[in-house]
Amino acid sequence: KDTRAAGRRRTRAALLFSIFSKSYAVRFHGLERLHPFNAAKGKHIHKALCAELSLVEGSFYEPEELTKHQLRRIHTREYLRSLRWSLNVARIAEVSLMAFVPNKYLQQAYLRPMRFQAAGSILAGKLALDYGWAINLGGGFHHCCSNRGGGFCPYADISLLIVRLFEQEPCRVRRIMIVDLDAHQGNGHERDFNNWETVFILDIYNAFIYPRDHAAKLSIRCGVELQNQTEDAYYLRQLSRCLMQSRADFRPDVVIYNAGTDVLKGDPLGNLDISAEGVLERDRLVFSTFRALGIPVVMLLSGGYTKASAHVIADSIVNLRQHGLLD
């Protein structure tokens, strides 16, 4: 009995640095279903982790909603004002019917949950610095930059996290690496940190899908442009090579890992053929590479548009724990 109780305590401690809030969910009378993005993905992962690891509600940190003042640390005043126009919000969310909805409803049903998810990314950064790792069950809005949103990304949480770490942790954080393994190019943070010597961007993505942002691509220090239907063997081989090269070229103080699962086979937007086992191995490679060096890892979930995505993410987190990477 004592052994089982100790095991449960270790399990709860292992997931203490995961972040989730019920306020993450986008609910808009079904309009959110017009985009392939699973607006309740975080909730499904949370439920699966609680069932798999016998966790309780208190095992997860909950962020507070980002304020306008906090958003202004990265976003221009003009961009934040543009979110008051339903037409612009509809363009960002890629749901044209939203253009005809009063903006106050969009603020509450879509933008407010996204502000909570972005806040979760900020909180994950703080926890990772103190404890070695943190996972936000949301966020990863890598198509948004300081003055423009897109691809269902209204707030630049990755850029905001980087700026806040540099400003608030100058002694502990001088160099940051982004490892972006979402199926889409991370053009938002790439535009924000062009020519920043202190920010290293590794990006592996399908070159034949959105956003095809050639100007942003210039910021990538280590990258691979994948073909449609790329499979596990080639993908993992290129990832291993890039991780080794990046580690040799740049020693970060913290890694922001954008762990999109739209690389999964059958994803309607990613158009790659990575298996669930491939995603688990991908995540293990990233965590083991940097945790072995004592470098904190912040994991954000980003894209993923299949029904299986949430369960694959939950399985991957359990797998990371089983490999001793979430101690």
Give the residue numbers marked as catalytic.
Answer: 143
Structure tokens at 178: 């982004």
Largest CA distance in the chain: 60
Strand ranges, E, within 164-272:
176-180, 199-206, 222-226, 254-258
In angstroms, the CA 33 to CA 147 distance is 27
**Is-contact 60 20, C-beta < 8 A?**
yes
Using the structure block, give the residue that is written with the tokens 């966790």: 55
Long-range contacts of 78-86 (CB under 8 A, 24+ apart): 78/147, 79/146, 79/147, 79/148, 79/149, 83/107, 83/111, 83/149, 83/154
CA distance 228 to 217: 19
| Length reported for the chain | 327
Helix, strand, coil tally for the chain in percent (to 5): 50, 15, 40
∠78-80-83 over CA atoms, to 5°?
110
CA gap 146, 188 in Å, rounded? 8
